[in-house]
Amino acid sequence: MDLYHTPAGALDKLVAHSLHPSREFTTAVRGALGLLDTALRERGALGSQKPSVIRIVKGGAYARGTALRGGCDAELVIFLSCFRSYGDQNTGRTETLGAIRVLLESWGRHPGPGLTFQLSEPKAPGVLQFRLMSADQENWMDVSLVPAFDVLGQPHSGVKPKPKPEVYSSLLSSGCRPGEHAVCFTELRKDFVNSRPIKLKNLILLVKHWYSQVQTQETMRTTGVPRATLPPSYALELLTIFAWEQGCREDKFRLAQGLRTVLALIQQNKDLCIFWTENYGFGDPVVGEFLRRQLERPRPVILDPADPTWDLGNGTTWRWDVLAKEAESCFNQRCFLQTSGVPEQPWEGPVSERTPGTLGLVLMC
């Protein structure tokens, strides 16, 4: 259903009936990935080094509860005993992935009832990627298999304390590229999003639905803007969480107002600098100095709450201007008009001047 033709009061129904992945597909995928998880654990000898699988963590939109109907992404991060450092991870992945690929191809012959399997070209080094698709081809999931160094370690008694500062100082001293080791922090990323209320996740789905409509519009095709130059959808997830934290913080709110707020922030993208201190902060001198440099990057800056090297805003790379132009032109659509015909207004907090805080920072010039 087209978002712009949906009345503001019907947005909850739109999310419930059209944006959540189908229950049948979700159940089938859960069973398939469970079998793959078991196969990976049982075949612990994945190469000449014979490493054991410490644990396997699910990530991506699928694990964060922000998967959109039609297509979404997922990660299976395989923490291996043979990786004792980021260096081990970099040098040992090729051999390990070769052994995993053999297992994956065998499993992929019969992934589960109602699913088809297809290996994909990896979008990044050190990753195996495949697609699971429903029999009717209306739903699909791109899954990344990633062997990784278990830098966080397994939590004791289910308790997940804040990472020690040396976790991040060692990351910074590894000489990594921005976000290169983001998968090592998948659990923190997943916990950060999953701790939010269901209504906020529904707003995230609505924002991603708007984003998917922008990606498919004729204006993008006629202007020649490649989809690959748009910001990653995870950046919009974080922006939505920030908007809710600064402007609402309630379990019940109007989706139209929440969406209006996020799009207003997208319009102001050149003024945005957002980060969270939930997992890292300025207490450690090395990490603190790095953060200060990160916050001086070209706007927008949106730092991943799990990995401070990963700037999802990346103002020098992504075409936020394309999203901002669409946001500016859509506020007279039905989805932003209340029953009385009055235009929906954004939450006050996120679109006014802010000062540094523990949840995040937004600078307005």
Q: Domain range for residue 248? A: 193-351
Count of structural domains within the chain: 2
Q: Are residues 145 and 197 in the same domain?
A: no
Q: Residue 35 corresponds to which tokens in the numbers above?
A: 């079998």
Q: Are residues 146 and 264 in the same domain?
A: no
SS3 assignment for 264-321: HHHHCHHHCEECCCCCCCCCCHHHHHHHHHHCCCCCCEEECCCCCCCECCCCCCCCHH
Tell me how far apart the alpha carbons of residues 181 and 184 are, in angstroms, rounded to a whole number.
Answer: 6
Q: What is the pLDDT of residue 363?
A: 42
Is residue 180 a part of any domain in this protein?
no
Tokens 């902060």 locate to 281
Q: Which residues, in sequence order, are bridge partners of residue 57?
A: 77
Taking a C-beta distance cutoff of 8 angstroms, is the pair 77, 204 a contact? no
N-terminal to C-terminal alpha carbon distance within the chain: 38
Q: What is the pLDDT of residue 362?
A: 46
Q: What is the pLDDT of residue 85?
A: 94
Query: Which residues neighbour 230 within 8 Å (Cβ) at sequence distance 6 or greater?
Result: 211, 214, 215, 318, 319, 322, 323
Q: Which residues, in sequence order, are bridge partners of residue 58?
A: 76
Q: Are residues 14 and 125 in the same domain?
A: yes
Q: Are residues 199 and 325 in the same domain?
A: yes
Of 118, 150, 182, the domain-final residue: 150
Tell me how far apart the alpha carbons of residues 333 and 331 are, in angstroms, rounded to a whole number.
Answer: 5
Which among 49, 40, 190 is positioned nearest to 107, based on CA atoms? 40
CB burial of residue 338 (10 Å; 0-12, 13-18, 19+)? middle
Tell me how far apart the alpha carbons of residues 168 and 282 are, in angstroms, rounded to a whole number.
Answer: 11
Is residue 174 a part of any domain in this protein?
no
Q: Are residues 21 and 118 in the same domain?
A: yes
Of 126, 150, 174, the domain-final residue: 150
Q: Consecutive 10-residue runs of the chain (365 residues): their mean pLDDT?
A: 93 97 95 94 61 92 96 96 93 89 93 94 89 94 96 76 90 94 97 97 98 81 81 98 97 97 97 96 95 97 98 96 94 94 90 46 42
Reported pTM: 0.93
Q: Are residues 143 and 56 in the same domain?
A: yes
Q: Are residues 146 and 198 in the same domain?
A: no
What DSSP character marks residue 343? B
Q: Residue 13 corresponds to which tokens in the numbers above?
A: 């129904």
Q: Are residues 291 and 206 in the same domain?
A: yes
Q: What is the pLDDT of residue 228?
A: 86
Residue 270 sits in a domain whose CATH number is 1.10.1410.20
Which among 18, 8, 7, 16 is positioned nearest to 199, based on CA atoms? 16
Ordered strands of the 115-120 beta sheet: 53-59, 71-80, 140-148, 128-134, 115-120
